[in-house]
């Protein structure tokens, strides 16, 4: 069975500072990894995804994530955050890219401090 662990439920960070949101996964098969962002009372928006190939994945809004198979991690980073990045971030895993179900982590709330 697949699972996703997001180690931090909330991360406060000052505006323009760098941030890393941690994610670890477990799976017995090859996986696809995702990061989604959810703004208040809205649905999910895909930030980035790892399917194969380069372990460093660049996404929208200046975010990037690195797939580390040996550590089973897929941490999300941004070098300089903006107040508009305040949102809930979900790490997710799937066995397939499109038609398979997605298993979500519990989410990390990114709180940008002025």
Give the DSSP per-residue string, 38-76.
E-TT--EEEEEEE-SS-SEEE-GGG-EEEEETTTTEEEE
Nearer to another protein, 70 or 98 (CB): 98
- Shortest Cβ distance from residue 58 to another protein (Å)? 16
Three-state SS at 27: coil
Annotate each residue in 29-68 with x if it binds another protein (CB under 8 A) or - if it does not, as one string: -------x----xxxxxx--x-------------------
First CA to last CA across the chain, in angstroms? 41
- Shortest Cβ distance from residue 97 to another protein (Å)? 6
Binding status of residue 99 toward another protein by CB under 8 A? yes
- Chain contacts with another protein (rule: CB under 8 A): 36, 41-46, 49, 90, 97-99, 101-107
């Amino acid at each position: 069975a697949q699972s996703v662990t997001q180690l931090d439920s909330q991360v406060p960070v000052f505006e323009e500072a760098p941030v890393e949101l941690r994610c670890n996964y477990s799976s017995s098969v090859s996986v696809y990894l995702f990061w989604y962002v959810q703004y208040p009372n809205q649905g999910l928006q895909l930030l980035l995804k790892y399917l194969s190939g380069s372990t460093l994945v660049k996404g929208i809004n200046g975010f990037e994530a690195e797939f580390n198979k040996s550590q089973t991690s897929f941490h999300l980073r941004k070098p300089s955050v903006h107040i508009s990045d305040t949102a809930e971030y979900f790490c997710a895993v799937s066995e397939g890219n499109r038609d398979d179900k997605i298993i979500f982590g519990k989410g990390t709330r990114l709180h940008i401090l002025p």
